[in-house]
Structure 1
């Protein structure tokens, strides 16, 4: 049982749940409980395992009374699942339903999927369609190579933009100042090959602008190289398509040929989207 002082703090926080917070969503202020609900869902989305209320209290700093109320509400609404034996939670099926609804309602996805199928058929490699969200790229569609042994969908998964060809292609649409504001001061390494020096990243973006496609070798995943090109229907571009190839099966020449194909395909797709009135 917590101390009287701790209980009082929790009670103060509970009474303040309806207060607005400067800088949060919803105009000049956001509702604190709504903001915490979103943060809670995103914490579960970043975690592969189950989380206990104690884990969440320690890592997120929410008052226990508020935290338990939010967990109970999300559980009842289907956003969370509860393991009764351990008292731990994880994301529920409602998260998948809402995520699928986003894809179902996005007008670009059907067009992009058609092109991914064509590129996979022509190259034999795995293809992706992704969108930049801040300093990350979110995978919206994937077509695995028919000879792939992985067959794991990346849809809904995110990766740091600086560590992927998709991300570099999209970052190249921005100025150096915009890139610096978007990314963290220290760029995390996903592999030993990931670019972590901002100056090196800026140079990679400049090269991407010059040749029309981005390229990386084992920066995001060991054993995989990737090339990507933006779909130019928005300014700056938000979407890109890519092709992933095993490093042991694709040479620099192969990657350059696929990169040129992606640039040509993405440019044609951009024109098609603009003609369809999709912005």
Structure 2
């Protein structure tokens, strides 16, 4: 095994692919659907599923026709959150921002070409936006992701992104040149902005939290599109820039990198 090209264990790789598919699915998936999505031989797929069920990483539906994520997958996911030293401070920052602005706010981390939501503070108002912890979205389709991509050089951002940019709505930027221009605007103004690029009816303002260089984490505020005026964007951005800077200062002071 060389350092440049580590050899991957096929069975482990396939197991992780199955778990990631089930984790991203909206509900349980049938074996037929998993076979179609993975292309794994049916015999190998059945063996892997039986093992995962026995280990309680996945579980069967009551009628036995489909499988979904099991309780041990939750234990593994929450362990990641529990050991992250930045999250208690980030959660407090979300509470302060939510109280000031009255909108749902999120904290997320760049993970390759995606962002993963690590914390959410929801407003109690009916207009709230819900995004569960653990949710993963393409970085190019979110203000959170664009705030973090803008922390990279254009070349670094380009190398991180896939060749084909998936559209989540008709408003998602799927052209690399258009995205490059959007990231330049983000760098210039200091925050990212998107309008209905991943959820219809909602816009978002996001700011990177620069306790690491380049920043890996960001905070965002979801705003109903009808309220996303220039004045409201300015108000939200000012609060978030202040809170992101304060959070970064606190994390560095705590020795968290």
TM-score category, normalised to shorter length: over 0.9
Q: Which has the larger radius of gyration?
A: 1
From 148, 166, 172, the counterpart of 2:144: 166
CA contact (8 A) 1:214 1:259 kept: no
What is aligned with 1:259?
237
What is aligned with 2:43?
65
Runs of 4+ in 1 over 4 A off after TM superposition: none
Distance 2:146 2:130 in 1: 23
What is aligned with 1:14?
none
Normalising by structure 1, report the TM-score.
Answer: 0.86
CA contact (8 A) 1:231 1:267 kept: yes
From 192, 196, 203, the counterpart of 1:214: 192
Residues 9-64 of structure 1 show CA distances to partners (whole Å, capped at 9, x for unaligned) of xxxxxxxxxxx9x999xx72122211111111112112223222232223212222
Distance 1:84 1:161 in 2: 36
From 82, 85, 106, the counterpart of 1:104: 82
CA contact (8 A) 1:124 1:145 kept: yes
Q: Does 1:38 align with 2:38?
A: no
What is aligned with 2:25?
47
CA contact (8 A) 1:213 1:260 kept: no
Q: Does 1:143 align with 2:121?
A: yes
The answer for unaligned runs of 5 or more in structure 2 is none
What is aligned with 1:4?
none
CA contact (8 A) 1:50 1:90 kept: yes
Q: Does 1:202 align with 2:212?
A: no
From 182, 185, 192, the counterpart of 2:160: 182
Shift in alpha-carbon separation, 1:186–1:32, aligned structure 2, 3 A: closer
Moved more, 146-155 or 120-129: 146-155
Distance 1:147 1:70 in 2: 44
Displacement of 1:69 in angstroms is 1.4
What SS does structure 2 have at the residue aligned with 1:29? coil
What SS does structure 1 have at the residue aligned with 2:12? helix
What SS does structure 2 have at the residue aligned with 1:240? strand
What is aligned with 2:203?
225
The answer for unaligned runs of 5 or more in structure 1 is 1-19
What is aligned with 1:80?
58
From 105, 108, 111, the counterpart of 1:133: 111
Aligned length: 257
Displacement of 1:71 in angstroms is 0.7
Distance 1:159 1:172 in 2: 17
CA contact (8 A) 1:217 1:226 kept: yes
What is aligned with 1:247?
225
Distance 2:173 2:129 in 1: 27
Distance 1:59 1:139 in 2: 25
Q: Does 1:238 align with 2:216?
A: yes
Displacement of 1:102 in angstroms is 1.0
